[in-house]
Every structure is written in structure tokens, then in C-alpha cells.
Amino acid sequence: MTPGSVLAEFVAAFGHEPAGVWAAPGRVNLIGEHTDYNDGFVLPLALPLRTLVAARVSGGPSTVASVQEDGETVRFDAATVVPADVPGWAGYVAGVVWAFREAGLPVVDLELLVDGNVPVGAGLSSSAALECAVAVALAELAALTPDRTELARLARRAENDFVGAPTGGMDQMVSLYGEAGGLVFLDTRTEEIEHIPFDLAAQGLELLVIDTRAPHALVDGQYGARRADCARAAELLGVPALRDATLDGVDSLADERLRRRARHVVTENARVLDVVGMLKAGEDPREIGPLLTASHASLRDDFEVTVPHLDVAADVAAAAGAHGARMTGGGFGGCVIALCDADRSGAVAEAVTEAYAARGWDSPAAFPAVPSAGAHRLA
Ligand code: GLA
């Protein structure tokens, strides 16, 4: 998939050239999991895996097609489309158009073709990549100049209120603010961004992404349930969000489950700040490994969003020499990241593959996470 191939696909689908080609990346989160909807801190990076859209303004209705969906074509009217009109993958496209309109921005109908290599359902934010690619394309084609934070809010609105997934704002922010060579340190309360250099290759390191290919089960319901637990815990503690809770406060919660949920959020926020402090102080990135592993334990024991595929991958990676390993993303399947010496990463991936085979599980996929640029125009 290249800008040229997407352009050619557009011509094949619509019979003329697009006005441009835009791209937006998927992500992994280094640390700061299930903190974004608690007004907390996250530290993701944008991946080289990305979604491309070729588009131009049309006379309407909007017509969208996707290479991944065998060229399936979906139509809707930008001026009138509402949630439930457009199910499935095209809802992420229509949802962005709808979010612009809901925000009072003038919208235009589009011809739009989607292509991408962010695996769907792997927890690498293929949905945010699609939303953000559409958002930057639509803004430019409608001659609008919202800043990146505003674009991220619009993309998230599409996900939350059109598609109906109650996610936080991390994925859209990193898809828009990603930078080659760096992490995106985001304070989700203030929406302040700081780029933290993360040149692992220079240190002989690699951040290995292990896609467990575990089937996602009950993700939506479980994610919503965790959000509700966090909101309830904050309410009982009398704080605006768990970002404001202390460990002493958390210990005072009578409900054992809520206590564990809140403890994860409070300790996870502290781990993000520790990692940021260490990286900014120029410490050897190997030193953050134990914090990654501690994050996994907290997500497993306190937040309860791991599954055996994630636990086995994280444990086996650490035993095979990774400096630290943890699940990344929402959980219940998806990916594990392992911080490895570059010359050990092949052995780490191999060890996880063997452990899966011994359990009769499908082989995982593994690739290095290289911090990459956020959404932008390609052609
Ligand atoms: C999913 C959501 C994000 C975030 C993570 C957990 O990826 O889309 O907003 O909540 O889960 O950190």
C-alpha cells in the first residue's frame, strides 16, 4: 500500500483523480492504561502502520469505499446523516462528517477511498487511524482550519457518539500528534502534549509488539463496566476524577472491587510520571522495564482486563530476557509490548511463539514499534 496505489484504487472506483491522499497512524501505548477516561496521563507512540484515505469533494451523496472491504461502497448524505444510518466500518467515516456538522462546522459530501495496514481488532487503534485520516482530509477539503486537538475531539466524538464505543481520548490524540522518534506524553485533563524523545535503536533496544491474535471477547461491555467502576469510585471519594485520588483515599473505599480498580488508576498514573521523569533525565530506557511489568500486574490483578494470551505473552517475554513487558490498549486480547535488547528480540518473539504452540494456541505476530509521524497529507 502506497500513496500511488491508493490513488490508483480511487481512480478505479470513481473514474477520476482524488484531490489528495491523507494518512493517520495506529498506536501502541508505552504506559498509562485505562487512565485516559480518568483525567490521567498516557504515554503512547504512533506506529508506522497507518490508514490512508484518498478523497475529493462530490456533489453528493457521499460515497465511500474500502480496499479492505473488497471495495464495498456505502452512501450517506453529509447534511443529514445521523448515528444508526451507517453501520460497520463506514460508520467511522460518516461519524466524523456528523461530528463536524454537530460542532457547527460546514461539511461537504465526499468521494472517499480507504486503504490501510493497521490490523483491525488487534488493539492498535485502527478505528482512530481511520477517523483521524478522514478528519484531516475533511478539514482540508471543507477549507477548515481546526487545530489538532480540536480534530482529535471531533474524531473521538465520532467513535463515542456515532459508532457508540465509550473510549477515552488517547488514541485520537496520538494519531494526530505522533512524531517520528518520540513518545506523546498527554495529560488528558488539560490536553497538554509533550513529545519525549525515544530513540531505542541508539541504545541497542527494541520495543517489540506481540499481537496475541486472541479473540476479543465482551470488550465493549467490559470496557464500559470498568469506566462505570472508576466513575463510582471517584464519586465515593468525592473527587472530580480518579486522577485526583490518593492511595490513602483508595484504601478507605469499602468496596473491594472498586478499591482495586481505583488503585490501578492511581498507581498507573504514578508509573507514567515515573517513566517520563526517567526518560527526561536521560536514564537508560532499560530502567523503565520494571514499571512496564508492574503495569501489567496491576492491569491483571487490580483492573482485571487481561486474558491468558496476554499474561502468557508478558510472562514469557520477561522470562526470555525482555527488560519489561505489558499488555497495551484496552485489554481482553490485542497486543503485548516487550522492551528488549535489539539482539534478543527475535529470541523473545520465538519464546512466546513456542509457549503458544505448547498450549495449542495460534502463533502470535511480532514486529518492532518505531515511533512515527501523526496524521498528515501525503499527496
Ligand atoms: C482503548 C481506548 C482508549 C484507552 C485504552 C485503555 O484503547 O480506546 O481510549 O482507554 O483502551 O488505556
pLDDT tens string, the chain, 379 residues long: the values are 899 999 999 999 999 999 999 999 999 999 999 999 999 999 999 999 999 999 999 999 999 999 999 888 999 999 999 999 999 999 999 999 999 999 999 999 999 999 999 999 899 999 999 999 999 999 999 999 999 999 999 999 999 999 999 999 999 999 999 999 999 999 999 999 999 999 999 999 999 999 999 876 545 689 999 999 999 999 999 999 999 999 999 999 999 999 999 999 999 999 999 999 999 999 999 999 999 999 999 999 999 999 999 999 999 999 999 999 999 999 999 999 999 999 999 999 999 999 999 999 999 999 999 999 999 999 9
CA–centroid distance, residue 341 to ligand 1 (Å): 27
* Ligand 1 binding site (Cβ under 6 Å of any ligand atom): 33-34, 36-37, 167-168, 170-171, 329-330
pLDDT of residue 214: 87
CA–centroid distance, residue 24 to ligand 1 (Å): 17
210 has which bridge partners?
336, 366
pLDDT of residue 340: 98
CA–centroid distance, residue 105 to ligand 1 (Å): 27
- Cα angle 70, 74, 77; round to 5: 160
pLDDT of residue 218: 46
Residue with CA closest to ligand 1 atom 1: 330
Ligand 1 atom closest to residue 123's alpha carbon, by position in its atom list: 7
Residue 142 burial (C-beta neighbours within 10 Å; 0-12, 13-18, 19+): middle
- Cα angle 118, 122, 128; round to 5: 55
Q: Report which residue type is found at 193.
A: I
d(CA 371, CA 129): 15
pLDDT of residue 142: 97
d(CA 270, CA 221): 27
pLDDT of residue 205: 98
Residue 217 burial (C-beta neighbours within 10 Å; 0-12, 13-18, 19+): exposed
Residue with CA closest to ligand 1 atom 2: 167
Q: Report which residue type is found at 170.
A: M
Length of the chain: 379
CA–centroid distance, residue 330 to ligand 1 (Å): 5
Residue 202 burial (C-beta neighbours within 10 Å; 0-12, 13-18, 19+): exposed
Ligand 1 atom closest to residue 34's alpha carbon, by position in its atom list: 12
Mutational pocket test of ligand 1: of 170, 173, 227, 292, the residue with most ligand atoms within 8 Å of the beta carbon: 170
pLDDT of residue 244: 98
Q: Report which residue type is found at 286.
A: R
Burial 346-370 (b: 16+ CB within 10 A, else e): eebbebbbebbeeeebeebebbbbb
pLDDT of residue 71: 80
Q: Which residue has the cell 497529507?
A: 377
Pick the closest to residue 270 from 236, 247, 240 (CA basis): 247
| pTM value > 0.75 | yes
CA–centroid distance, residue 15 to ligand 1 (Å): 39
Mutational pocket test of ligand 1: of 27, 47, 132, 167, the residue with most ligand atoms within 8 Å of the beta carbon: 167
Cα 364 to its chain centre, rounded Å, is 19
pLDDT of residue 287: 98
Domains of the chain: residue spans and CATH: 3-195+373-377 (3.30.230.10), 198-368 (3.30.70.890)
pLDDT of residue 220: 66
d(CA 168, CA 156): 8
